[in-house]
Amino acid sequence: MSLKTLFGRRSTDTDTAARTAPATAGRPADGEVLLETVGLTKAYAGADGELPVLSGIDLQVQAGEIVALLGKSGSGKSTLLRCLAGLLPPSSGTVSYRSAPLTGANPGTAMVFQTFALLPWLTVQQNVELGLEARGVSPQERAEAAVRAIDLIGLDGFESAYPKELSGGMRQRVGFARALVVEPDVLMMDEPFSALDVLTAENLRGELMELWDSGQFPTRAVVLVTHNIEEAVMMADRIVVLGSRPYGTIRETVEVALERPRDRDSAAFDELVDRVYRIMTGRPKETRLPGRSEAVRLDKRTVANTPLPTASVDGLSGLAEMIAHRGNRCDLADLADELGLDIDDMLPQVDALDLLGFAEISGDDLLLTDTGTAFAGADVQKSKTIFASAALEVPLVKLITNSLRGKPDATVRAGFFRDLLAHHYTSEQVERQLETATDWGRYAELFSYDSAPQEYRLDENADLPR
Ligand SMILES: Nc1ncnc2c1ncn2[C@@H]1O[C@H](COP(=O)(O)OP(=O)(O)O)[C@@H](O)[C@H]1O
Ligand SMILES: [Mg+2]
């Protein structure tokens, strides 16, 4: 694609001097704070009142930087992005653009969506112009700006095409052009590559980074939402890792000082991926302290602070067996690589093994505990027994089992657990956790679940002392 661009001058820019740095000067990294959140909290209305999704978020986005918001699914990345864009009001705390608290849509941002969000009845040119129409730009200027954006992003020749005639990659280019055409101070991207196939995503990522590095990008900062660690390390100057235990908070911020363009095969790149991975898989500090006795650690677990990861018994057993085959210990990044998986696709299984006491995270490695080794090597009956005693240490499984044991008819409606969990989690999180608990409880032969009356029933074997 031609990187020759007409974006050096801004026809609609009557703004500050800082915005009109010549294209040849590279990215203007004057450090001006463009976006800022202070004590941002966001809660959605749930079955049981307000459920916090984000809590205590203090974040700044400065001119000249690409900031990645990285986290597992459900950690509140999109919510944070929408708050920054002024599309969602905070529940408490403030969001400001150039020091002015937002009262509505952020005038300094434009958004690229995972699903492209194009209007099918409009051509590429018309879709791109759309962004400007809303801002009252004259038709003549609109057309010119759209052509510039279309050229910049490699869509020349597609101006009169309709979205349905385009490949996914080309459609997302339209998404980019539509956002860039307004020359926003901050370009917001919500998992912009995750609906594309691997090669297309890689190609588009590369082109965008080339534009950014060459200073031709008509925006001063970028906020990228992603669940892909490598993508974050590839693109960002700063990675903000969001954790969701139980509410979305900033777990840690990682500066990425790697030279651009970045070399995915370098040791430094690998090291950083491993480090970020460790942060994402990290337990809260207190449960990681060595020397702390197992009993105290387990005692502190509650349904509220120990959500069940979305990992089936099959999935976590599969991972345990793979680690066992590698000598009970392996580097997670390498394993993911071998399997052709995104490293974060394995996080729920890793969490599950850890939660069950089958594995521990040590540095970049995952190592099986003695129990985990026994579990991986056991025949079905034996593995069920091992699994059952481990699962009974998991608060939600224990809660369900003990509740059933306390009932004369040994049954409890799912709604009972749903209500209890609703105090701490969103309804989606509640459903996912109940599904996992059901899978684990069934395998362990602790309890069964009947979906018609939505009832849990104690397994006959579960009454035996364990
Ligand atoms: N409009 C909404 N109403 C209620 N809950 C929501 C809404 N949007 C998102 N959530 C919940 O908030 C949590 C965070 O969602 P989201 O910000 O989309 O996370 P991410 O982008 O990291 O996957 C999830 O548990 C999700 O179910
Ligand atoms: Mg999202």
- Ligand 1 atom, smallest distance to 191 CA: 21
Q: Give pLDDT tens digits for 335-393.
A: 887 877 777 778 889 989 999 999 988 777 889 999 999 999 998 889 999 999 999 99
**Ligand 1 pocket, CB under 6 A:** 44, 53, 71, 73-79, 426, 428-429
The better pLDDT of the pair 248, 162 is held by 162
Mean pLDDT of 421-445: 90
Ligand 2 centroid, distance to 10 Cα (angstroms): 32
Give pLDDT, residue 289: 29
Percent of the chain predicted with pLDDT > 70: 88
Measuring from atom 7 of ligand 1, which residue has the nearest CA? 44
Mutation pick for ligand 1 pocket among 111, 226, 426 (CB with most ligand atoms within 8 Å)? 426
Give the DSSP H/E element, type plus range, for residue 170: helix 168-180
Give pLDDT, residue 333: 80
Q: Give pLDDT tens digits for 311-336.
A: 999 889 989 998 998 999 988 888 88
CATH 1.10.10 in the chain, residue ranges = 313-458
Which CATH fold would you assign to the domain 3-281?
A: Rossmann fold (3.40.50)
Mean pLDDT of 193-215: 90
Ligand 1 centroid, distance to 74 Cα (angstroms): 6
Q: Which ligand sits closest to the CA of 70?
A: 1
Give pLDDT, residue 245: 64
The better pLDDT of the pair 223, 425 is held by 223
pLDDT band at 290 (very low <50, low <70, confident <90, very high): very low
Residue 8 has pLDDT above 50, yes or no: no
Answer whether 71's CB lies under 8 Å from 241's CB.
yes
The token pair at 420 is 């209890």
Measuring from atom 2 of ligand 1, which residue has the nearest CA? 44
Measuring from atom 26 of ligand 1, which residue has the nearest CA? 74
Answer whether 89's CB lies under 8 Å from 168's CB.
no
Mean pLDDT of 10-24: 37
CA 46 to chain centre: 21
Mutation pick for ligand 1 pocket among 44, 54, 87, 430 (CB with most ligand atoms within 8 Å)? 44
Q: Which ligand sits closest to the CA of 194?
A: 2
Q: Give pLDDT tens digits for 175-187.
A: 999 999 999 999 9
Q: What are phi and psi of 125, to 5 degrees?
A: -55, -45
Query: What rounded mean pLDDT belongs to the chain?
Result: 86
pLDDT band at 428 (very low <50, low <70, confident <90, very high): confident
Least confident of 22-31, 229-238, 357-366: 22-31
pTM of the predicted protein model: 0.66
Ligand 2 centroid, distance to 243 Cα (angstroms): 14
CATH 3.40.50.300 in the chain, residue ranges = 3-281
Mean pLDDT of 274-283: 79
Ligand 2 centroid, distance to 94 Cα (angstroms): 21
Nearest to 128 by CA among 163, 186, 174, 184: 174
Ligand 2 centroid, distance to 339 Cα (angstroms): 25
Which residue type, as a one-letter code, is found at position 85? A
Residue 405 has pLDDT above 50, yes or no: yes
Q: Give pLDDT tens digits for 88-113.
A: 999 999 999 999 999 999 999 999 99
**Four-CA torsion 211, 241, 262, 66, nearest 10 degrees:** 20
Measuring from atom 1 of ligand 1, which residue has the nearest CA? 44
Residue 288 has pLDDT above 80, yes or no: no
Residue 10 has pLDDT above 80, yes or no: no
Which CATH fold would you assign to the domain 313-458?
A: Arc Repressor Mutant, subunit A (1.10.10)
Which alpha helices (DSSP H) does 49-123 contain, by range? 77-84
Residue 295 has pLDDT above 80, yes or no: no
Q: How many helices (H) and strands (E) does the chain have?
A: 16, 16
